[in-house]
Every structure is written in C-alpha cells, then in structure tokens.
Structure 1
C-alpha cells in the first residue's frame, strides 16, 4: 500500500512527514513548482527518509504530468489514499481515485463542492436558501438575468476560489462594459461563468471537519473586510474573527451549515469552508461551500483556537492512521475556544524599501512576512494576495475588530513602500 500526496501550497504549512510519521507505508509527494517558487521553497529541504519520492511539476494546474506520475506509482504500489487538500486539486484527485479504485471523495461529490451551479442546484432542490443564479453561456443569459432580478449582480467562475475573476456589476453601464470587454469564449471552448444576484448583508465563514460522517468543531467567523473589496479598500485585504459562543448567530450558522452538509454528497472525511450571508431581514443565505480548509490564515487561526490542526487530522484519517487523540483534543478545546482571528496585508503598487520582519503587538500569535526590501509590488489580483499577515487572540468580538485595525496601522507605520509613479512607472 502507498500514500500519494498532491500538494499545491507552501511546504511549511503542510509538514506531512511529521503528520504521517507513524505510517508504515511509502509516501509519494507531488508538488507544484510554481508554489515552491512563490514561497522560496525547495524539495531539497525535506527529510529524505520521510518520503519514498518527491517531485515538483511545472505548470502544475494544467500539466498532465501530475496524473502520469500518480499512474506510474500505481504500477508498482496499491494506493491506499490520495491526499489532496487544495481547492484546485479536489476534482483532479477524485478522477484519479475513480480510475484507480482508491477510496475517498468521489467525482460527483467533488463536482458538488467545486462547481457552484451544481452545488446550488442540489441545495435549492433540498429547500435551502441560495441567491437567484444561472449559468452564463452567452450575453443573452446575462441580459435575461438582470431583467428578471435587477442589479447588483455577481459574475464569477463556476469553480473559482479566492474571489479571483469575480465581477460585481452595479448597473447597466457596468454590465455593458463587462460585455464589451469580451467575456464570450471562443466557439470551441465551454463557458465556465455563472451569474447570481448580489446579496445584501454581512458575510460569515463557517469552518470545521467531518470525520467518518460526523461533524466536529463547526466554527463560525465574521469577515471584518469583505473579500470583494480587496481592490478598492486602500490595501485592507481580507480579515475575519471567530464569533463568541454566546453570539445568537453562532448556533444558527452552525445548524444552517450542518443542513448544507446533510444535503450535499459530503465525503466521509473532509474539512469544509462555507460562506453564508446574513441579510438585513435576518435570513441566512448560502454563498458557497468547499470540501477543504479555508484559505488565507483561516486554518492557522482555527489551530490557535482549537489547539488542533484540521489538515493534520484530515490527512491522518484519510491515510488510516490513529486519530482518537486529535479528536479528543478537538472536542475538549472546542468547548472552551477563545476568540481568534487573522488579517492579510494587501500589496500596493510600489517599490519596497523597508517592511517589519517581526511583530511585537501582544495580541498577535503569529506574523508572516512574504516580501523583502527591494522587490516591486503590483496591485492584488485575488482577495488572498498578501505581503504580510497575522493571527491573533482577542478578548471579545469588539476587541478582535480593534486588533485587526491596530495591526494594519502598525504595519503601515513601520513600512516604507514608494509608489511606482515615483519611479517613473505608469
């Protein structure tokens, strides 16, 4: 038996050699070369005795070499598990499992959690509230939708993530500009867009894990900064904080997301990340849900709150390793979890002269700097693009909001980034 890991993230955030160190089976790691480059990492730093083999694939997202590598492993080993914890690996891993008869999330489940049209079709039939939506195959779909539902609308990829490629259109002029910019695909390409009605209200994310069909640690959080604002909010990128256990919305959000998990073909074991709108008239409306851990620093903030890494628990369970101790730890700490949160610092176009390498704010548990002096920054393209980030513990929800604002102000006060126009770049 063997374990195959598809890895599309930083190596430092996923130490599989530590998480699976008691496994007696060979472990094969297939990583994205682009992600290694982005985080200045190398496979050479991994302990050689921990893995049977490691390889990095260029153009990882579209390169069939990933599939060929897994099929090559299967020639000599029976694969017990294919571990794939990144959003863009969910469907790829499901297809490989189906082809090789490996247990785990199947293709239909993967599609329901990745394709937002399929997802909302299933949930709507189950009687759960979602915003009006439709698939976009041509201009007529957009015109008909706005005529029926009005503005604002959201146009986005059916299987996107991180608010990448999402457009908020507020009126007919913005819709006209969007259409004339050329979203219509070539005749031989299948469209991959959808449109849905914009939902007023605050956005919450709810995160947790399912182990052998049972949900654990369903933790609701409130976005302090909306992800769609990342291009227009003076660099104040996405941030959030967990809700207090006695917040009236906490139980409602937990129950709502559990009903979503029950309605979908949820895998026996998976983490999950849901986003839910709370409307001014007090309704909960699902935005979307993913069968993986939330991005940005969500997982890190949850680990501080629960003293348990959900991805470690997920990986161990998928690989057939003992998880009783982690589950006990999770249940004990969930009942007494503190309020935690995180914030990203968004890049602003400019030349970096100085940025703080350490953070001395007492509430901050972990601070990460992603840039160095001398580099040139461009405007963010996704809500999760960041040059720095921090995770914190707060006394209450109001204190959490204060820490987010305080941390961002501290970073700006201790940084020197000259605008590109000052260097003659336009």
Structure 2
C-alpha cells in the first residue's frame, strides 16, 4: 500500500513520517521547489519514503498533475493525501481517475472555485455578496455602475489573498484591468467582481471526521486580509463561548457544511462577513485547515492538529478526537508580515511575555528582507492563549509591544 502526498509548504510543519508512523505504508512525495527553497528544507530520504521530488511552477503549472499521475502509476499508489489549497483539486482529479478513496472533484471544486462556491451558497439560501463572473472587460465597468465603489476584484481560484484588489475609483479599475488576464489558456473566465461588504471578518474553523463535525469554532480577524502590506500587528482571536455571535457563527458554519458537502474526513476554513447591521454573509470557504496561525490556534482550542487527524482517518488510522465540545481555553494569533529592509535586530526570545505558546520568526538578523508578496508572507508569528477573549487580547497586545520594542529593520 502506497500513499502519494501532494505538498506545498513547509515539510517540517507537516511531518507525514511521524503522523503515519503506525501506518505501515510507503510514501511518495511530490512538492514545490519554490517552497522547499523558501523554507530552507531538504527532501526526505529513507523510510517510509519510496520517492520524493519537487517541481518548479508548482502552484499553477499543469505539469504537476501530469507528473502526479505518472507517480500514481509508477508506484501503484492506493491513496492520495493533499492538505494545501493548491493541491485539493489535483488530488480529487487523481482519485476519480484511478478510483481511489477520498474527496472527489464535485466537492473539491465547490470549495476551490469561488464562482461555483457562490452559486452553491445561493442555491442553499446562504447570503453572499453580489457578484459576477467577468466574461469581458465591460462586465467590470457595468458591475461598478450598478453597485458603485469600492468593488472587489479577485481571481476565481486564488489563495493567500494574491491578486485580490479593492478598487475605489474608475481610474483604479482601468489600471487593474490592464494588469490582469481575464481568461485562462482555454478561454475560461478567471476573475470575479464582488460588491464590497462593510463589516468585520470572522472565520469558522474545524474538522469533519467520519462524516461528522468533530470540532468547529469561530474567531474574528481584527485586520483586513487583503491589506497584507500593512506594518501593524495583525490580530485574530477566537470568540468567547458565551458570546451570542459565536453561537450564530457556529450555526452558520454548520449550514455551509451541509450545503457544500465534502469527504468523510477533512479540515475546513470558512470566512464570514459580520456586517454593521448584524447580518452574516459568506465570503468564501475551503476544505483545508486555515492558514497562518489558525492551525496552531485550533490545536490550542481542541488539543490536536486539524491537518493531522483528517489525514490519519483518511488512511484508516485511529484518532482520539472524542466527542464534539466547546473550547475550554481561548487562543489567538499575532502576525507581522514582511516589510523591506535589512533586519538589524529581533527581541530576545528568552524574554517572551506571558501567554505566548508559539513564537516563530521567518528571517534572520542581517538578512535583507523583501516586502510581503501575499497574506502568508510573515516576518514573525505568535500564538497566544488566555482564559477568555479579554485576557487573550491583553496578552497579544503585550506580545505586540514586546516585538515592536525589539525589532529594527530598514
């Protein structure tokens, strides 16, 4: 029995050989050359890996699916594992083509293709922002005429907020249209316009195991996701158990999962606008764990990695998830995206303030740092815990002050 692992990102963050140590199967890894270099990692060698390789242009290159198919046939693959956004649909295509178990293209597409996602939500009566698929440049002008500015322009199958623009004038609209290709190589439209929704952004994260929701809890961003070149700390905290908004979001997340479906075992990340008048409006959803520190926050809330357990269950391995419950403690994350310059100093990690359970830096002193390229391009990240939201936020603010005092870059 052999499992093909499609992987974009840090291999240290997803130690498949440890996750599946009791699996007794062999692993074949296909990963991203760019990500391997970015994280300064090397390909694994030796058991349980039969083979490991990386490809350039991994995120969008059609050669990745072709090579994955060759590996399925060469090694007699019996399962395909995919945990990252760019791999979800590829893995589904491979499973359907070769009759392998797991998520198939129908549910993979609804979580990956924002046009299909919004259509599925609308059919289920789930509120979404007014939107249109751009089939000509004139469609964006017409949409702006109907809805006014700002207008949100986003790629149909984007990730990490790459390509997302908030257009605030006709001039910005014209300039952005000159920069984007509205169609892919086969002529399919690849961009959506959406009405701008005023309000805060919440997200609902959790896992489905054995066809049932095992964990589900909402958090609230205190920053704009698309504005990833701001210089402030980006704060995101789980909601209190007694918060009425938390209960509304729990019910909203359950409704989205019923409408979109999914495989027997998967993690999910659902983003929801909470408008000024109290309405909940779906932004988008994904059948994978949340990015940045969302995964670490979920581990604090529920005691397990939301990527690891669905992978183990997909391969028939036991997990001690227990009955569904509310979190006993809260947690949040503090993120600093990269800013350009020479990194001259960082604070001493031996003096970390209380409540910080994880602190990660993504550059070394003396290194020349480039500006952030996407919403997950971090200089530093913290995971902070507290008894409730108020204590968690106070500790996050303490960590923010600590980091700013010790940071010198420019």
Question: TM-score normalized by structure 1?
Answer: 0.90
Question: In the alignment, is the contact (CA less than 8 A) between 1:364 and 1:392 conserved in 2?
Answer: yes
Which residue in the other structure is 1:248 paired with? 244
Which residue in the other structure is 2:299 paired with? 303
Structure 1 gap ranges (5+)? 419-426
Question: In the alignment, is the contact (CA less than 8 A) between 1:80 and 1:319 conserved in 2?
Answer: no
Q: Is 2:357 the counterpart of 1:365?
A: yes
Alignment partners' CA distance in 2, 1:182 and 1:255: 37
User: CA offset at residue 239 of structure 1?
Assistant: 2.9
Which residue in the other structure is 2:326 paired with? 335
Alignment partners' CA distance in 2, 1:138 and 1:378: 35
Question: In the alignment, is the contact (CA less than 8 A) between 1:135 and 1:195 conserved in 2?
Answer: yes
Which residues in structure 2 correspond to 1:162-177 (within 5 Å)? Answer: 162-177=160-175
Structure 2 gap ranges (5+)? none
> Which runs of at least 4 in structure 1 moved beyond 6 Å after TM superposition?
none
Structure 2 residue matching 1:52: 3-state secondary structure = strand
Question: In the alignment, is the contact (CA less than 8 A) between 1:211 and 1:269 conserved in 2?
Answer: yes
Alignment partners' CA distance in 2, 1:188 and 1:77: 32
Deviations 1:296-335 (A, max 9, x none): 0100111122111111101101111122x2x22xx37x43
Q: Is 2:220 the counterpart of 1:228?
A: no
**More displaced stretch, 164-173 vs 175-184:** 175-184
Question: In the alignment, is the contact (CA less than 8 A) between 2:331 and 2:383 conserved in 1?
Answer: yes
The one of 253, 256, 260 aligned to 1:260? 256
Deviations 1:44-66 (A, max 9, x none): xx462232222222332345554
How many residues are aligned here? 409
Question: In the alignment, is the contact (CA less than 8 A) between 2:31 and 2:55 conserved in 1?
Answer: yes
Which residue in the other structure is 1:288 paired with? 284
Cα 1:299–1:30 shift into 2, 3 Å? same
User: CA offset at residue 337 of structure 1?
Assistant: 2.5
Question: TM-score normalized by structure 2?
Answer: 0.94
Which residue in the other structure is 2:13 paired with? 13
Deviations 1:214-251 (A, max 9, x none): 112111001022212323x3x12543111111110111
Structure 2 residue matching 1:48: 3-state secondary structure = coil
User: CA offset at residue 69 of structure 1?
Assistant: 4.4
Alignment partners' CA distance in 2, 1:409 and 1:67: 45
RMSD of Structure 2 on Structure 1 (CA): 2.0
Alignment partners' CA distance in 1, 2:63 and 2:184: 26
Alignment partners' CA distance in 1, 2:185 and 2:213: 44
Alignment partners' CA distance in 1, 2:60 and 2:184: 19
Which residue in the other structure is 1:269 paired with? 265
Question: In the alignment, is the contact (CA less than 8 A) between 2:347 and 2:402 conserved in 1?
Answer: no
Deviations 1:78-104 (A, max 9, x none): 433200000011111111111111111
Structure 1 residue matching 2:383: 3-state secondary structure = strand
Cα 1:65–1:127 shift into 2, 3 Å? closer
Cα 1:135–1:48 shift into 2, 3 Å? same
Which residues in structure 2 correspond to 1:274-423 (within 5 Å)? Answer: 274-323=270-319, 325=320, 327-328=321-322, 331=323, 334-356=325-347, 358=349, 360-418=352-410
User: CA offset at residue 266 of structure 1?
Assistant: 1.9
Which residue in the other structure is 1:205 paired with? 203
User: CA offset at residue 76 of structure 1?
Assistant: 5.2
